[in-house]
């Protein structure tokens, strides 16, 4: 009963639920994906995290938009408070939507559990906060993604963390750099812009055999290979971070990060994520889930087209060298073959020196390659890269421009035609 504005009582008659609020069938035969059934990546990528039996038979998990979560009783509220990490407690801490993506990526990569973050960089900074405090020492690869370096230099150093960069080719030599207060070794393989492949197994072994009771945490940025083409945990890493913004989302339309942990390190990272407020919007998490289901077929094409472009570029007179670890003859090729099961579409090419006007003549008129940061979407990108600005223990002395390319899903011969015309403009402007 409620009272209408003119003072006459109005009765609301309830005719029963509208639409399918109840489940008409027993859906239990549909079941959730069983990880014991197969570890084959294409099947895991397609099915992990789906629970159609719990959602009316609907294939995809619902996108929960949530801040508040209601508890039915005082007991339930108090119990959920004690098991916060594992219950649906508050939107920021996780929902069935976020756990679907976390489950799928952890299974695919071979980790224990995963945590979503609002961006790849948030995944990295959350992980570093989880393990570092004043007085600690961190070793970071000199080939690291530039914003990771800026976080180390501008946030960790003022906090009193000693940040030291190492040569990405260090391998087992990392042992000589370990100090009693080294808490983290941060790797990224292949390296941003220059694509050095790191010997993660040798580094992991050196860290293990240093014999410390509390060994440093080996974290690797696995964005380039994705959870599909490199398995950090099988190679000795403890935590793997991803810019899911790139291949997992795969369509250049959302920011998203993921942190995958082994069992020993999960709790510390989840705790840091909860303390820092690390979380992601539900629609972006859903875009990550949507992207993941097709990541295998997309990556196969990015890999194939990237290699085709790299091979073609290597034949051009303007090119000094191509930096792509999946190409035989690349300095990282042997390690890539040993440790990776595929390549993505990102690589670099070094050109012979020319004035800036020649570079502008090339890049200002590309038809298919867009100029922009990020990568991993369906479209091709090209951008000048300046490793000399972000190196401190290794040097980059090349006089010519370095271009970083992302091979998208376009037809490879159209991309080659675009590059051919661009290099022709480069040569013509250089001669002018
Ligand atoms: C893009 C990128 C990041 C950061 O990811 P965002 O989602 O852009 O914050 C981290 N590492 C690597 C290697 C990247 O390419």
pLDDT tens-digit readout, 290-349: 999 999 999 999 999 999 999 999 999 999 999 999 999 999 999 999 999 999 999 999
Q: Which domain holds residue 378?
A: 294-431
Answer yes or no: 145 catalytic: yes
Q: Which of 84, 92, 316, 352 is catalytic?
A: 92
The answer to the question of residue 374 being in a domain is yes
The answer to the question of residue 242 being in a domain is no
For ligand 1, atom 5, which residue shows the shortest CA distance?
120
Spell out which residues line ligand 1, taking CB within 6 angstroms.
Answer: 119-121, 145, 188, 192, 221, 223, 243, 245-246, 255, 257, 374
Over residues 211-237, the mean pLDDT reads 96
Which atom from ligand 1 is nearest to the alpha carbon of 243? 5
Whether 166 shows a pLDDT value over 90: the answer reads: yes
Predicted TM-score of the model (pTM)? 0.94
CATH of the domain at 307: 3.90.1150.10
Residue 82's contacts (CB-CB under 8 Å, 6 or more residues apart) are: none
Answer yes or no: 352 catalytic: no
The answer to the question of residue 306 being in a domain is yes
The answer to whether residues 81 and 328 touch, using CB atoms and an 8 Å cutoff, is no
Domain count of the fold of the chain: 1
Angstrom distance (rounded) from CA 15 to CA 34: 41
Ligand 1 centroid to residue 414 C-alpha, Å: 28
Which pLDDT tens digit goes with each residue over 186-212? 999 999 899 999 999 999 999 999 888
The answer to whether residues 235 and 262 touch, using CB atoms and an 8 Å cutoff, is no
Residue with tokens 């970071």: 140
Answer yes or no: 246 catalytic: yes
The answer to the question of residue 411 being in a domain is yes
Name the token pair of 421: 């015309």
The answer to the question of residue 216 being in a domain is no
């Amino acid at each position: 009963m409620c009272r209408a504005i003119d003072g006459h009582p109005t009765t609301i008659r309830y005719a029963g639920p509208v639409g399918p609020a109840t489940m008409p069938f027993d859906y239990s035969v549909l079941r959730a994906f069983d990880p014991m059934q197969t570890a084959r990546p294409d099947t895991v990528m397609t099915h992990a995290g789906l629970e159609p039996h719990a959602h009316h038979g609907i294939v995809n998990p619902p996108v929960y938009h949530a801040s508040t979560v209601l508890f039915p009783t005082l007991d339930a509220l108090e119990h959920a408070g004690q098991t916060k990490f594992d219950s649906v407690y508050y939107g920021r801490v996780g929902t069935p939507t976020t756990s679907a993506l976390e489950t799928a990526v952890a299974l695919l990569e071979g980790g224990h559990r995963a945590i979503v973050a609002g961006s790849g960089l948030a995944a990295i900074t959350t992980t570093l906060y989880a393990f570092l405090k004043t007085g600690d020492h961190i070793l970071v690869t000199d080939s690291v993604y530039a914003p990771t370096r800026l976080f180390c230099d501008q946030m960790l150093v003022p906090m009193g963390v000693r940040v030291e960069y190492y040569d990405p080719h260090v391998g087992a030599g990392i042992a000589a750099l370990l100090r009693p207060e080294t808490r983290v070794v941060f790797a990224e393989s292949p390296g941003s812009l220059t694509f050095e492949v790191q010997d993660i197994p040798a580094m992991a072994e050196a860290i293990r055999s240093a014999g410390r009771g509390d060994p440093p945490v080996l974290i690797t940025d696995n964005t380039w290979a994705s959870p599909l083409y490199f398995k950090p945990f099988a190679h000795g890493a403890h935590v793997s971070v991803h810019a899911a913004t790139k291949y997992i989302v795969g369509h250049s339309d959302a920011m998203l990060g993921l942190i995958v942990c082994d069992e020993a390190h999960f709790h510390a990272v989840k705790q840091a994520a909860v303390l820092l407020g690390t979380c992601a919007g539900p629609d972006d998490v859903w875009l990550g889930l949507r992207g993941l289901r097709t990541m295998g077929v997309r990556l196969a094409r990015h890999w194939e087209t990237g290699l085709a472009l790299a091979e073609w570029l290597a034949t051009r007179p303007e090119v000094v060298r191509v930096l792509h670890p999946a190409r035989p003859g690349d300095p990282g090729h042997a390690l890539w073959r040993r440790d990776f099961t595929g390549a993505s579409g990102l690589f670099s090419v070094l050109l012979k020196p020319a004035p800036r006007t020649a570079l502008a003549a090339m890049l200002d008129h590309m038809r298919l390659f867009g100029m922009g940061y990020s990568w991993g979407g369906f479209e091709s990108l090209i951008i000048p890269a300046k490793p000399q600005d972000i190196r401190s223990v290794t040097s980059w002395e090349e006089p010519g421009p370095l271009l970083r390319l992302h091979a998208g899903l376009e037809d490879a011969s159209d991309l080659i035609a675009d590059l051919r015309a661009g290099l022709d403009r480069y040569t013509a402007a250089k001669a002018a």
